[in-house]
A and B are shown apart, each in its own frame.
Chain A
Amino acid sequence: SAVISQKPSRDICQRGTSLTIQCQVDSQVTMMFWYRQQPGQSLTLIATANQGSEATYESGFVIDKFPISRPNLTFSTLTVSNMSPEDSSIYLCSVASSGVGAPQHFGDGTRLSIL
């Protein structure tokens, strides 16, 4: 299975600042996803990171707030912009090969706290 390295593992940030989270995979993967998990809740898909084109965002998430890059098949970044305390969450990167029902593999997550 794919090995996913996510950085940073945790951070504490000031209100109004931005943070970029990196996701590196040890093999080329077709699908890369970014999730948010707010305290006490389950995972919510933010967007699908598409290689070489704009990410596909889910309802309630916009590019200005969560810009995503995916320059190649092994790397993606998610930026959380103009942060507020409501953005305090765990952010998770996930990958999957193509095909219906392909298993997903998750990174260890980035635990983000906004003061």
Chain B
Amino acid sequence: KNEVEQSPQNLTAQEGEFITINCSYSVGISALHWLQQHPGGGIVSLFMLSSGKKKHGRLIATINIQEKHSSLHITASHPRDSAVYICAVLAGKSTFGDGTTLTVKP
């Protein structure tokens, strides 16, 4: 069993829809990273959080340390949000989820 589980694996949405991507982990962590990877391969760090909630533009990330669970929300989704979203937990070193492939259709 992977230490970091993401769901769903693939997600297709219509432009404007509210998106939720989930991440569950089984180890104690110091922080959790949400990353975005575009088709070219480059990775952008969206959030790093160790408690509570963070918001940046249309993106919101939450984490519940007791339940070992985090969610990434995208409000008013847009086709340019289409990418792979990766959850990574920091516990000494980083462990990555398998990613969620999001496609937002116009």
Contacts and interface: CB of A to CB of B under 8 A. Distances in A.
| Prevailing SS type, chain B contact patch | strand
Contact of A42 (B48, B50, B93, B98): B98
B30 A106 contact: no
B43 A101 contact: no
Interface stretch (B12-20, B34-42, B72-80): B34-42
Contacts of B26: none
Contacts of B50: 101
Interface of B: 30-31, 33, 35, 40-45, 48, 50, 86, 88, 90, 93-94, 96-99
Contacts of B41: 37, 90, 92, 108-109, 111
Given A42-B99, A43-B86, A100-B30, A105 B45 contact: yes
Interface residues of A, number: 21
A71 B41 CA distance: 26
Contacts of A43: 86, 88, 94, 96
A41 interface: yes
Interface of A: 1, 33, 37, 41-45, 48, 90, 92, 100-101, 103-109, 111
Contacts of A90: 41
A103 B33 contact: yes
Given A101-B30, A101-B48, A106 B43 contact: yes
B42 A107 contact: yes
A106 B35 contact: yes
A106 B44 contact: yes
A101 B88 CA distance: 11
A41 B33 contact: no
